Amino acid sequence: MNKVLLVIPAFNEEKNIEKVVNELVEGFPQLDYVVVNDGSRDSTGRICREKGYNLLDLPVNLGLAGCFQAGMKYAYQKGYSYAIQFDGDGQHRPEYIEAMRKKMEEGYDIVIGSRFLTKRKDWSMRMIGSRMIGAAIRLTTGVKVTDPTSGMRLFSSRMIEEFALNLNYGPEPDTVSFLIKQGARVAEVPVIIDERLEGESYLKPFTAAHYMLRMLLSILLIQNFRKRR
């Protein structure tokens, strides 16, 4: 199946998931998708079942890493050539996926949708944090990534297999750094990422700062001791 599978992690996205999936079904029927309901405590799972969406309904909350890995196992078992991490809160725009796929066909393993690939004057905390993590990746791998915290990442069939069959592969910047060290080729294409449609992000200021420090520590130190299974 030479098609792109959108892996849509969804935890308590009852206010957004219907809009996200309906836009895909109506506007981008060439794209396949699977919603991975990560043990939501709200009506996310019920909405998906009632609407007949393609669904992996996890009985417990596994967190983003386990949830995304479940979607990648599905992509691997179904033989997809490409899989993209696609948020269930309406932040990601499907119109950029084709450009990302074409970029991957140049021989890349991971293509990131970057918010910061073009020069920008507004130095938000999000941009500063992303730049700091990007600097750590460049220092440890020699590869420049302008937006390592972007959640919109397209993976090749080789990367699908890595995520599906190996443990501890969370969709995070430190994993991207680790995969680069293992020989993965990474590219970026410019995208616009919207604010979430409804609800609040779990990344509050304190949580975001903790996340940034955790990623920096992992990239600069822990990844040196990480091994593939």
- Match 């779990």 to its residue by tokens: 202
pLDDT tens-digit map of 23-80 = 999 999 999 999 999 999 999 999 999 999 999 999 999 999 999 999 999 999 999 9
Q: Is the pLDDT of residue 19 over 70?
A: yes
Question: For position 191, which CATH number holds?
Answer: 3.90.550.10
**Structural domain containing residue 126:** 4-225
pLDDT of residue 204: 54
The mean predicted confidence, pLDDT, of the chain is: 91
pLDDT tens-digit map of 110-135 = 999 999 887 655 566 677 888 999 99
Mean pLDDT of 79-88: 96
Mean pLDDT of 4-22: 96
- 71 contact partners, CB below 8 Å, separation of at least 6: 5, 7, 8, 9, 34, 36, 56, 83
Domain count along the chain: 1
